[in-house]
Amino acid sequence: MQVLIDVLSAFLQIYLICIFAWALISWLPMVSPGLAYNETVVKIRGFLDSVVLPYVRLFRFIPPVRMGGAMIDLSALAAILVLALFGPVVIQALDSLLT
């Protein structure tokens, strides 16, 4: 059963990285408009959208914050925090139930 816990822990880490990468790629049009529409970047963004958006949409009730002239969406940050804080707790609870 330890293998299951290890797989879940690895999945949690990979998913956190995917959310972080999705948030960074969403800033590309502001930083580098030419790179944002690169074919490879568009494919990566499409993949990350399909993987990350179903979870991040759960946090879209959090209103964006205005910083200067830009609006910053905090839903990705909230999604990362919830997953980083409660993911290990759930995995540890599963570990104690399975052993």
**What does the block give as tokens for 81?**
């925090």
Q: Tens of pLDDT along 46-98? A: 999 999 999 999 999 999 888 888 788 899 999 999 999 999 999 999 999 88
Least confident of 21-25, 36-40, 75-79: 36-40
Give the CA-trace dihedral at 12, 13, 17, 23, to 10 degrees: 40
Q: What one-character DSSP code corresponds to residue 26?
A: T
**Measuring CA to CA, which residue among 35, 19, 27, 24 is closest to residue 70?**
27
Q: What is the pLDDT of residue 67?
A: 84
Q: Would you state the structure tokens that stand for residue 48, as one six-digit string?
A: 């990350």
SS3 1: coil
Domain range summary for the chain, segments of one domain joined by +: 2-98
Question: What is the C-alpha separation between 4 and 94, in angstroms, rounded?
Answer: 10
Average pLDDT over residues 38-42: 90
What is the predicted pLDDT for the residue at 44? Answer: 94
Give the C-alpha separation, 92 to 86, whole Å: 10
Q: What is the pLDDT of residue 52?
A: 96
Rounded CA-CA distance 34/49 in Å is 20
What's the predicted TM-score (pTM) here? 0.87
Structure confidence at residue 30 (pLDDT): 79
pLDDT of residue 55: 96
